Structure 1
């Protein structure tokens, strides 16, 4: 799939009011800073079938009881009227309040949320998803089976802005301290391009930009088969190119700090984000099979699991 023009069309998935309330401040800042028009902003609710749970629990499947098509249609209509429409009404009002009256359009789809969002982004060429995730209970950091995990692994072409677990303080800016993971891959360059288009628009809110390249000193070759000595030189060039791109886009060079670390990339980037108290983290998301993720690991997965209080920008 061809790369979609950055910031050309926004999709805001809506699941619960609690999660969307955390999305609204970031969405408002992005939409206002970039001058996004109402017709380029869509709310999406995916009906995944949970409204049928109670009805199916009451069925005696062994006796051959089924739900008729007419009853399914009635249950769906009741769910739309009683739950989905009020939910979208409330979320639309919240967006209008933070954008000076911009009224997003609405999409309602049936199906699996991950498959639906992925297909919709491909069909309608959304450039930008702004979404929250449900808080995990019991201190768990596991992603397995979540919508976030599914989109991290499957979505390509669109950039995901994933808000943190805690509500943003009104006076705090998500753009204050940005960290960008840098290597010599096209995915990393896409992340730098995204940052270069956004950060000059919010220059007054940005205090520091960290460009971080991580070299695994324990390996002889990286996952592409390139010797680490060559990878280190390529990483240095990537840092220089990233700083140049940001500066040419209008970012003050005095707030840009390039850093090279040694270690496991995902682990080191998480540690650096915590050390500098990054408020926003840009990561280029590589296309890779789930099996490769299992054996090689994923920087995106490490960041998503361990930086739950930051805004994450996962660039496809």
Structure 2
């Protein structure tokens, strides 16, 4: 597998890259090659006061590349200028990457707003599965919040085609997964929108995971999907939320897309967001 590792050279990015446990988890699911990508926003110029981009890039990327090489990954570096999420997506397509990885402090106020906006924009537009690796907030020397990226997964589904595609990610995530919680949220507007009993459908998915020795529980909840998924995360504290980025129909694309975007922005821990197929 090939991964794009997007970094803005911040403390948040460095914490995610420097975590030996996180890198070990990536290796366990089959990642062999990592392309380190730094995007300088178009509105930022080297001549601005206090901006020594050249020296900072060389030092940081060299340090990151050494860490990943020591962990056994093949690596290269890409330094580009432009709109961060667009350039990251472009490189992901050009390299035929299997996932994009970005470190983020999550619900930050004014600080780190560039990486925060990039994570949100990638959540809307990513062309490959997006791993948002959450790090601590409000500290100058942050650490990752949950090192074992895929050990305990909360999978949220509306039984759409894209949700099924997200579930298919277990085919490789399972090599690092021990437990899973499967959740479906029904809202009043969704009454009768799915075929079959949701509990039965979740049980069928749980049976698949059982063949891979993953301990699984299922839960059907009522209410707002985003709020209910985050409530389950708070209760079970998974290491990862796994969710598709689009829902049941084109008519509801923006609404259901906003649920996954909301989860990326507000989740306490890591999020693995799976978009529709590139050929869809």
User: What is the TM-score when the length of structure 2 is the normalising length?
Assistant: 0.81
Residues 80-127 of structure 1 deviation map (CA, whole Å, 9 limit, x = unaligned): 3x2222121011122234x1x434111222211111112222232211
More strand, by proportion: 2
RMSD: 3.2
Q: What's 2:102 paired with?
A: 131
Aligned positions of 1:148-227 closer than 5 A: 148-156=119-127, 158-166=128-136, 167-168=143-144, 173-199=148-174, 201-203=175-177, 206=178, 208-216=179-187, 218-219=188-189, 222=190
The answer on 1:231 being equivalent to 2:194 is yes
Do the aligned partners of 1:214 and 1:261 also contact (CA within 8 Å) in 2? yes
* Structure 1: tracts of 5 or more residues without a match: 1-7, 56-74, 223-227
1:62 maps to which residue? none
Q: Which residue of 2 aligns with 1:299?
A: 259
**Unmatched segments (≥5 aa) in structure 2:** 137-142, 276-280
Question: Residues of 1 paired with 2:216 and 2:236: CA distance?
Answer: 13
- Tell me by how many angstroms 1:238 deviates: 3.6
Number of aligned positions between the proteins: 263
Contact 1:12-1:44 within 8 A present in 2 as well:
yes
Moved over 3 A (4+): 134-140, 142-145, 234-238
Matching residue of 2:5? 12
* Alpha-carbon distance between aligned partners in 1 of 2:66 and 2:118, rounded to the nearest angstrom: 25
Tell me which protein shows more helix as a share of its residues: 1
Superposed CA deviations along residues 19-74 of structure 1, whole A, max 9, x for unmatched, are: 2223223641233213433xx2211111224234628xxxxxxxxxxxxxxxxxxx
CA contact 2:153–2:240 (8 Å) conserved in 1: yes
Distance 1:96 1:20, change over 3 A: farther
State the TM-score, normalized to the length of structure 1: 0.72
Describe the shift of the 1:144–1:92 C-alpha distance in structure 2 as closer, same or farther (beyond 3 A). Answer: closer
Q: Which residue of 2 aligns with 1:96?
A: 69
